[in-house]
């Protein structure tokens, strides 16, 4: 049976670093589509099969293609302010694609998800909320954008209980459960808990944190009353897609969950918890394979790496690649407090470090800079991964910043460098 032709956006696709601040007008794109111009705004124009691969590899090239050809690893230039991936119905330049058995797919459902770094609601951030009586304070500048996504995910880098002894002294992060109001306002759906601070007040507080978060409607993963509970994925349907998320802690400090003991999922690896442990990695791989059948989109969120570094340790690549091979659609990591690069492995994104998101660190520029990652799906197909630059301001309150400004460009140069 033949398939009907569809009209799809005609796009300019470039390496993500080339898309920063770029824009085009409808007349420009229509002229390029009609004719054979060899350049556009200093880029070499490539067309036809393989054009997207050229643009991924060559930062001086722009692919002129219909949107069905797009894959993660390139970004698109808005035309007259319209984004062809997030809102294809409003995009002004289209072409008919297909019409036979090989007709290209239309966009179908467009589903966006946002992934933020560490959310720490204790210490000075918690004091500011308590002092003002505003439990939504950390998200006052980002909630509207975060809540507009079909799915929003972040790492909760604190407990929601202080029922035990503080195990990290002044760096024990415990928050008032009322702080979850801000996460609700910002539209968070999933909180990952596989991190090195969930054990800051002992086992009782850890288990209580999981219960409170779930009781307030958040899906969680990475921690629990025993290892089976900690390994249990977070599952949320958003935009008609079944998102499944797994998390683990490679940093230690929080207790390792056991068959009958509370804790987080551990994966021992450099630079902190020893050499890469094959049994730990195999267990996480098995969790990925087990979750694959029930997921349209499967993401693993590691807490890993070296603090205060833009450079991933070598085993981050090893582990991420193994998880993709096991079936993960994306790996989105954090812990380092600085942003780290995004890579593609077998066409799937690996975000090595998002940086902080809500945090009260102020001792360097880098700890106050971050990215939020946006995944754009057309149905089950991942069309784009974008990094949205963030500045963390007074009181640990983040805000999105202009990617084309000096600071935004600097952050994105690290991410896409």
Domain with CATH 3.60.21.10 in the chain: 110-416
SS3 content of the chain, % helix, strand, coil (to 5): 30, 30, 40
Instruction: Give 388's strand partners.
Output: 372
Longest CA pairwise span in the chain (Å): 71
Fold classified for 110-416:
Purple Acid Phosphatase; chain A, domain 2 (3.60.21)
Bin 124: left if φ > 0, else alpha if -120 < ψ < 50, else beta.
alpha
**Is the pLDDT assigned to residue 102 strictly greater than 50?**
no
In 348-406 the beta strands, taken as DSSP E runs, fall at 348-354, 356-358, 369-378, 381-392, 398-400
Q: What is the pLDDT of residues 320-376, one digit of tens each?
A: 999 999 999 999 999 999 999 999 999 999 999 999 999 999 999 999 999 999 999
pTM for this one?
0.96
Q: What is the pLDDT of residues 260-308, one digit of tens each?
A: 999 999 999 999 999 999 999 999 999 999 999 999 999 999 999 999 9
Q: How far is CA 414 from CA 54, 335, 407, 409, in A?
A: 22, 16, 11, 9
**Taking Cα atoms as reference points, which of 337, 358, 356, 354 lies closest to residue 138?**
358
């Amino acid at each position: 049976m033949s398939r009907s032709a569809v009209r799809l956006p005609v796009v300019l696709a470039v390496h993500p670093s080339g898309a920063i601040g770029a824009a085009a007008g409808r007349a420009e794109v229509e002229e390029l589509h009609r004719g054979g111009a060899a350049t556009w705004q200093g880029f070499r124009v490539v067309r036809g099969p393989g054009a997207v691969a050229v643009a991924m590899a060559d930062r001086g090239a722009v692919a002129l293609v219909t949107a069905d050809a797009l894959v993660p690893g390139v970004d698109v230039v808005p035309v007259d302010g319209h984004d062809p991936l997030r809102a294809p119905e409003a995009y002004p330049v289209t072409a008919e694609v297909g019409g036979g058995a090989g007709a290209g797919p239309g966009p179908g459902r467009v589903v966006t998800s946002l992934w933020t770094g560490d959310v720490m609601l204790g210490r000075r951030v918690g004091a500011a909320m308590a002092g003002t009586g505003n439990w939504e304070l950390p998200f006052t500048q980002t909630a509207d954008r975060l809540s507009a996504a079909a799915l929003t995910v972040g790492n909760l880098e604190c407990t929601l209980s202080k029922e035990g002894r503080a195990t990290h002294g002044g760096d024990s992060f415990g928050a008032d459960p009322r702080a979850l109001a801000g996460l609700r306002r910002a539209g968070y759906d999933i909180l990952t808990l596989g991190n090195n601070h969930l054990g800051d007040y002992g086992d009782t507080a850890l288990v209580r944190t999981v219960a409170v978060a779930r009781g307030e409607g958040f899906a969680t993963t990475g921690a629990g009353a025993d290892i089976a509970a900690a390994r249990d994925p977070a599952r949320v349907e958003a935009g008609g897609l079944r998102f499944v998320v797994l998390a683990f802690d490679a940093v230690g400090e929080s207790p390792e969950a056991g068959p009958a003991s509370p804790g987080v999922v551990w994966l021992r690896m450099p630079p902190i918890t020893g050499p890469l442990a094959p049994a730990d990695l195999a267990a996480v791989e098995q969790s990925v394979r087990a979750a694959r059948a029930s997921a349209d989109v499967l993401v693993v969120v590691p807490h890993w790496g070296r603090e205060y570094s833009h450079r991933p340790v070598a085993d981050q690549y090893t582990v991420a690649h193994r998880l993709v091979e096991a079936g993960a659609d994306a790996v989105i990591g954090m812990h380092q407090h600085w942003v780290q690069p995004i890579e593609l492995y077998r066409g799937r994104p690996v975000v090595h470090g998002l940086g902080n998101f809500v945090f009260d660190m102020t001792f360097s520029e880098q700890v106050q800079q971050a990215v939020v990652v946006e995944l754009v799906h057309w149905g089950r197909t991942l069309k784009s991964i974008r990094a949205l630059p963030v500045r963390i301001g007074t009181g640990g309150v983040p805000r999105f910043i202009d990617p084309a400004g000096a600071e935004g460009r600097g952050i994105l140069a690290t991410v896409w460098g």
